[in-house]
Chains A and B, each alone.
Chain A
Amino acid sequence: MSSKKTILNSIKANKSQNPIELPETNIPHMHYEDKNEKFATMLASVGGNAIWLEDGDINAFVKEHYKDVTVITSTIENLTCKTKEANLAQTPHELEDVELAIIEGEFGVAENGAVWVKNPKNKYRALYFLAKQLLIVVKKDAIVDTMHEAYERVRFDKDGYGLFISGPSKTADIEQSLVIGAHGPTAACVLFV
């Protein structure tokens, strides 16, 4: 008998004959009067920061805030501040030198400062983790209250990869002291335009 059969048979022999019902997940949940403020507070609490860009000029923003950064990639088209085309790399390993990755996020989640990222056009997901710093660009007002609303918007009908990013990478594995910048980016800024 195959192991699959063995396992399934064992489950069938052991499981209850009266399964309990699958509950609804969309329970009444928190709503925030000022979603932007909540998002910014939560993101700050996990080591990131949120900025609302009034004029929408990403190039100017990058020029001003990332002065010493030279290797910049972007999944957003037509950004003049970009200096490296990530999708042209032969392997994801070639993205090791990226200092700033500007990526698109679909929406933010107020309760935890996370942003949903799923760029079908981005060839290498390693970009999100190899880059030294991350700048996630999200449309103004694209913020939901909680993960309940967030998962209403997440789809995986087809294959692919997507993730929630909440701030920079971090660890507290040495004596519970929080250190920002573990294996992934050491800084993460969410830019609302």
Chain B
Amino acid sequence: MGHPELAEKFIANDERMHWHDKALWFVRAKRDNASKSVDEWEKLRKVASQIKAHTLDKLDYYLEEFEKNATAKGLHVHWAKDAKEHNEIVLRLLLNNGAKKLVKSKSMLTEECHLNPYLEEHGIEVVDTDLGERIVQLRKEPPSHIVLPAIHLKKEDVGTTFEEFLGTKKGNSDPTYLTRAARAHLREKFLGADAAMTGVNFGIAETGGVVVCTNEGNADLGASLPKLHIASMGIEKIIPRLKDLAVFTRLLARSATGQPITSYTSHFHAPIIDGQMHIIIVDNGRSAIIGSKDFKSSLQCIRCGACINTCPIYRRSGGYSYGYTIPGPIGSTLGASKDLRANKTLPFACSLCASCSNVCPVQINLHQQLYKHRQSVVAQKLLGFQKHTILKIATWVMKYPLLMDISGKLARAIVPKLPRSIVYSKVNLWGKKRELPPFPKNSFKELYKQRKGK
């Protein structure tokens, strides 16, 4: 199913849709306030974008630097060309260390690799420890947002889920009460874990360490108890210098949730006492995108979620309507780059309003990328037959001024008199939930001529 069909399911509940829209706009508004509190905000975005662009241009060099410096500090570095290899490395590390219970913090990369089901098939207990992720894990749902995994749920939904799995009181959906219950439940999981996995926000080439940012402290707590810590990192997470973090830590949380910084910004350059720390560097299709002039910059993304929160389509269609690991504008361009056929509807889940590009802390030209992807969809003949035909006819009409004039006249005379059932029939793909503006008496051309005559 494509985006329009999946979105249709979401908007069927009108009240929920508006609630979702508002919840995200609230986050977007907080981001606006936070960004306005920094005088040099635009300069920061520019520098961040340049650092990332530079790093991508010399990525092979920086990855090797990273490996060299990490190894010198006693960390183990692994390379995985795809999801399969990544998952196999994780499983091997767990088995070699006799680990059966794993606590995980948020990592979109492991979602992308479908790591959890793979490990579970091999008898590993996997517990997502971010509160939002734990909620959706218990409900057997994927995250619907990269920063706010359970943004599609109301507190009553969480209440019933916890009632079933954590034995909380029936009908109690107070967020503080539910959070405390999750804290107690997950504390036990932390203390009983044999291994911890985290994602990586930034890998520092110069020092060979990784930085993880959380508010809950779950990545930090997880990685400080069991002897084994595995961190999964996409190749694009590398930054050259430690001091580059000044730029990124100033942008990340402000863009994500409007906070001045996350509660914890952990810099890992060593395992815990008597422990081991492993970093898996994953490609899984990323290096190919570096070769594309138009889409390379999508790899600059620091996964703040700002483009998602601001997107009028995402806010009204929800994370599941995208059918891709990462929803919203950034997911649509990454998904289309990765597999255009499978994700051919995503570039159209966009009003080209450009709000995403304007809020992006690393200045990715998201809306332009989506526009480019649309052209590829048409060029590769992936557009649906109906749309393709209608657009073809429209192109033909517009090529001939006389034909255009006649069609316009006819339309202005006939369409307003037609019953709704015909104007908004199934053929009119653009008429769903959209109203035509009132038809004017004269065309623009006629009006222009009249005016010129004056």
Contacts and interface: CB of A to CB of B under 8 A. Distances in A.
B199 to A, nearest CB: 16
Given A4-B79, A159-B270, A170 B263 contact: yes
Given A8-B60, A151-B246, A156-B242, A161 B291 contact: no
A141 interface: no
A176 B27 contact: yes
Interface in A157-179: 157-177, 179
Contacts of A161: 266-270
B172 interface: no
A27 B249 CA distance: 14
B200 interface: no
A7 B74 contact: no
B272 to A, nearest CB: 7
A11 interface: yes
A170 B74 CA distance: 32
Question: Which of B73, B249, B260 has the most CB atoms of chain A within a 10 A radius of its CB?
Answer: B260
B28 to A, nearest CB: 12
Interface stretch (B36-44, B339-347, B397-405, B420-428): B36-44
A130 B221 CA distance: 7
A46 interface: yes
Contact of B150 (A148, A166, A174, A183): A174
Given A6-B81, A156-B269, A184-B221, A167 B263 contact: yes
Question: Which of B38, B129, B190, B224 has the most CB atoms of chain A within a 10 A radius of its CB?
Answer: B224
Contacts of B158: 174-175
Interface in A112-170: 112-114, 123-126, 128-130, 146-148, 150-152, 154-170
A170 B215 CA distance: 6
B175 A183 contact: no
A78 interface: no
Interface in A39-94: 42, 45-46, 92-93
Given A6-B81, A165-B263, A174 B179 contact: yes
B267 A21 contact: no
A129 B290 CA distance: 39
B58 A15 contact: yes
Chain A: interface residue count, which band?
A: 35 or more
B264 A165 contact: yes
A117 B202 CA distance: 19
A97 to B, nearest CB: 11
Given A166-B261, A183-B183, A20 B59 contact: no
B64 interface: yes
Given A10-B287, A15-B59, A30-B39, A25 B215 contact: no
Interface in B256-291: 257, 259-270, 272-273, 281, 283, 287-288, 290-291
Contacts, number: 261
Q: Interface on chain A toward B: helix, strand, loop, or mixed SS?
A: loop
Given A15-B58, A174-B179, A181-B179, A3 B216 contact: no
Interface stretch (B130-138, B409-417, B433-441): B130-138
Contacts of A167: 263
Given A147-B249, A159-B269, A184-B220, A3 B47 contact: no
Contact of B264 (A109, A164, A181): A164
Given A156-B242, A181-B183, A173 B132 contact: yes
Given A19-B54, A129-B221, A25 B246 contact: yes
Contacts of B281: 7
Interface string B153-169: 11100100000000000
B262 A166 contact: yes
B96 interface: no
Interface of B: 23, 26-27, 38-40, 43-44, 47, 50-51, 53-54, 56-60, 63-64, 73-74, 79-81, 85, 129-132, 135, 148-151, 153-155, 158, 175-176, 178-180, 183, 186-187, 190-191, 204, 207, 209, 215-218, 220-221, 224-225, 235, 240-247, 249-250, 257, 259-270, 272-273, 281, 283, 287-288, 290-291, 296
15 contacts: A3-B80, A7-B63, A27-B40, A92-B224, A150-B246, A152-B243, A155-B242, A156-B242, A159-B73, A166-B261, A166-B262, A166-B264, A171-B131, A171-B132, A183-B183
